[in-house]
Amino acid sequence: MKHKIAVLAGDGIGPEVMDASLKVLDRAAESFGFSVEYRRALIGGAAIDERGRALPEESIDICRSCDAVLLGSVGGPKWDKLPADQRPERAGLLALRKELSLYANLRPVRVYPAIRELSPLKNELLEGGVDLLTVRELSSGIYFSEPKAHNSDEGYDTMRYRRPTVQRIAETAFDLARQRRGRLTSVDKSNVLYSSILWRETVEEVSRNYPDVELEHMYVDNAAMQMIINPGRFDVILTGNLFGDILSDESAALPGSLGLLPSASLGPKQHLYEPSGGSAPDIAGKGVANPLAQILSIAMMCDYSLEQKEAARAIYRAVERSIEKRVLSADLLRRGKASSTEKVAEAVALEI
Ligand code: IPM
Ligand code: MN
């Protein structure tokens, strides 16, 4: 079995982290008897420098020709002076999300026991472990609905959800909950917002097809609080675009480093996998960035796009073991000797 993967390393730490992480995928492919072909493409600042735009047509074509898209990170100070609609984040990443019609953003967060001292939360709040997955609607809601406008007098946006959009994301979340601990928390603001009333009704309706999944509803303000005082209570959190943007960043604080957090964005065809953190221009080129978020994104890709579930499990386990052996990059260490990007990736590869 040969899988074609679009590789868009992007800017900042993107390229060095990507190169190190692909060695883990090579190793997994070898161990589990499949092969991978990488099709490299430009995105972000790197694409602006070489082709004059953040998402060249040929990059989109390459993504569409592949089974999955693996992204590094985009953006940096060099391109911050450009007009907002030409900058790498918007003209590169947001544009690619749109091109591929990505609608479900999955952001899993785990607090690894071996490094739980990094969490800003007290030990007692982490008892029983933290392992949650935010499923954020990515294609609609207040980010995209019309009317929206801005003039010297007023600025406004519209939070609008249509039933099929909610149905689709709810089904994704229920399917995922079923493969995990079978608990789903749907987060809304239905005591105030009509779009949330529709959201809640639709999620209820979808839940009838998933009697094995335990559903609860929670207001977003309460969810933000529960995330801190009792993060272990969550399994899958299902929510809209804006609430998901905020809650997933809040959840990202729990393990103590962004360098651990992968993400997947699912669409009708190719899915996209990327670390949740940014391009970290301050440490780019030094070989010290944490590759684990990229490596875990590769594991998610094996899981959701390549149907290589065994390889995915092996990568998750290998990451866990290399953390336990304390092969750690600087962001995961309070004291002691930090390992380079390459050394961390090599240690994970060896565990497979
Ligand atoms: C994210 C980011 C983006 C978003 C920004 C950069 C547009 O915050 O991926 O969460 O809000 O979706
Ligand atoms: Mn965000």
pLDDT tens string 209-224: 999 999 999 999 999 9
Question: Where does 130-240 sit in CATH, by number?
Answer: 3.40.50
Q: What is the mean pLDDT of the chain?
A: 97
For the Cβ of 125 lying below 6 angstroms from any atom of ligand 1, the answer is: no
Over range 90-116, report the average pLDDT. Answer: 96
Q: Please name the residue whose Cα sits nearest to atom 6 of ligand 1.
A: 89
Q: How many CA atoms lie within 13 A of 187 on its CB side?
A: 28
pLDDT tens string 158-192: 999 999 999 999 999 999 999 999 999 999 999 99
Distance CA 108, CA 312 (A): 14
Nearest atom, ligand 1, residue 263 CA: 9
DSSP 192: T
Phi, psi values for residue 75, rounded to 5°: 105, 165
208: exposed, middle or buried (Cβ count in 10 Å: 0-12, 13-18, 19+): exposed
For the Cβ of 245 lying below 6 angstroms from any atom of ligand 1, the answer is: yes
pLDDT tens string 299-331: 999 999 999 999 999 999 999 999 999 999 999
Report CA(143)–ligand 1 centroid distance (Å). 10
pTM above the 0.85 mark?
yes
Distance CA 260, CA 281 (A): 18
DSSP 337: P
Looking at 221, 282, 286, 309, which residue is catalytic?
Answer: 221
Distance CA 339, CA 296 (A): 18
- Is 90 exceeded by the pLDDT of residue 1? no
Provide the percentage of residues in the chain whose pLDDT is more than 70: 100
pLDDT tens string 228-266: 999 999 999 999 999 999 999 999 999 999 999 999 999
| One-letter amino acid of 318 | A
Query: Tell me, what's the pLDDT at 288?
Result: 97
For the Cβ of 89 lying below 6 angstroms from any atom of ligand 1, the answer is: yes
Q: Where are the alpha helices (H) located in the chain, listed in sequence order?
A: 14-32, 45-51, 57-64, 95-99, 163-179, 194-207, 220-229, 241-252, 292-304, 309-324, 341-351
State CA 316 to chain mean position distance: 15
- Give the ligand whose atoms come closest to the C-alpha of residue 138: 1
Which of 139, 245, 248, 297 to mutate for ligand 1's pocket (most ligand atoms within 8 Å of CB)? 245
- Is 90 exceeded by the pLDDT of residue 226? yes
H-helix or E-strand containing 271? strand 271-275
Report CA(80)–ligand 2 centroid distance (Å). 18
Report CA(241)–ligand 2 centroid distance (Å). 10
Over range 120-136, report the average pLDDT. Answer: 95
Confidence of residue 129 (pLDDT cuts 50, 70, 90): very high
Annotated catalytic residue 85: no
Query: Tell me, what's the pLDDT at 84?
Result: 87
Confidence of residue 270 (pLDDT cuts 50, 70, 90): very high
Annotated catalytic residue 112: no
Q: Please name the residue whose Cα sits nearest to atom 4 of ligand 1.
A: 245
Both structure tokens of 271: 């899915």
Q: How many CA atoms lie within 13 A of 306 on its CB side?
A: 34
Query: Tell me, what's the pLDDT at 95?
Result: 94
